[in-house]
Amino acid sequence: MKGEHILLLQGQNLIHAKLPTLSSGKRGAGSGSESPVHAFVMLERYNAIKAVQFVHLSLAALSKVLRGTQLLTSDVQTVGSALINIEVTHDSCQFI
């Protein structure tokens, strides 16, 4: 069990990672000379980190609302409703 906990904490730096803004012309986040496979992998990495950050921020906001240290907003309510209904909608995860 302790090994699993350590493994989970290894991704902790993803939560605070600073990602470069991707322009619409260069969604691969690199120079034009990189291979399409590399550009695809980099884009998937970018989207995965954004998803991890979105989940972390959403759960943190829900936690604050439940503890009474933050007011309920429509965004937090949408995420909370999606979790209660066990569904993920486009409206509940606008992280990209």
Is residue 42 within 8 A of residue 29, CB to CB? The reply is yes
Q: What is the pTM of this model?
A: 0.64
What does the pLDDT look like over 14-46, one tens digit per residue?
676 777 776 544 444 455 677 899 989 988 988
How is the chain split into domains, by residue range? 34-96
- Condensed to tens digits (0 to 9), the pLDDT of residues 49-89 reads 888 888 888 899 999 999 999 999 998 998 888 888 888 76
Residue with structure tokens 């730096």? 13
Q: Which of 90, 89, 86, 65 has the alpha carbon at shortest distance from 76?
A: 65
